[in-house]
Structure 1
Amino acid sequence: MPIAVFAFLFGLSMDYEVFLLSRIREEYDISHDTDRAVVQGVARTGRLVSSAALILFLAFIALSRVPTVEVKILATALALGIIIDATIVRGVLAPTLVALLGPANWYFPARLRRRAPDPR
């Protein structure tokens, strides 16, 4: 059961991460200031991530009302995982880590730059 919960949560939380980090990168490309990019990125994606997490949380809570114990356990674990991921991981830890790493977030080695297309 824990592996199934982790797999579901990993897949669902990647959407939040893509929304957040792509918006932060877009803001960084405009301002070239990491702190400003983090603030703007979180401000612009906060409602989207919170709404999506709330919808999934409520869906899993509704699913936890099923009489089957295995489904109750899975749905409750997913509901708690979504709320923890959206609030603590995507709302606090990811933006904090991007802000702390500063310019290191945007480092792209020269050797890879020659091989890979321009990421912008």
Structure 2
Amino acid sequence: MQAIHEEKCTALIGAPIIFRDILTHSDRKKYDLSQVEKEIPIQRIVQAYGLTESSGLLTSGLWAGDEIKVADRDGNAVPIGQQDEIWARGYPTMAGYYGDPEKIQETITPLC
């Protein structure tokens, strides 16, 4: 809450428990959270689908610089309605696995 207050944050991404803790914390009224509350009503918490690796990117809407597509295992976009893999990249998406270049090579694929 102190960081939200000091940095005048306008958006937050996190697990629902984080927002529940903010809403119910005894010190909540000590901090100015109005920038976040103005942009996103913090009284309303919505559960979104998303992986740890991509946060809410997959369902919250794209931000500047984000890319997302449904593609086959070779990276080719598939027709609308066809099920396959979700490929995404952007600011809130992980860049790799710390200290594990083999896992990065195995998992992270160039997009578009």
Shared fold (TM-score, shorter chain, > 0.5): no
TM-score, normalised via structure 2 length:
0.28
Q: Choose between structure 1 and 2: higher helix proportion.
A: 1
TM-score, normalised via structure 1 length:
0.27
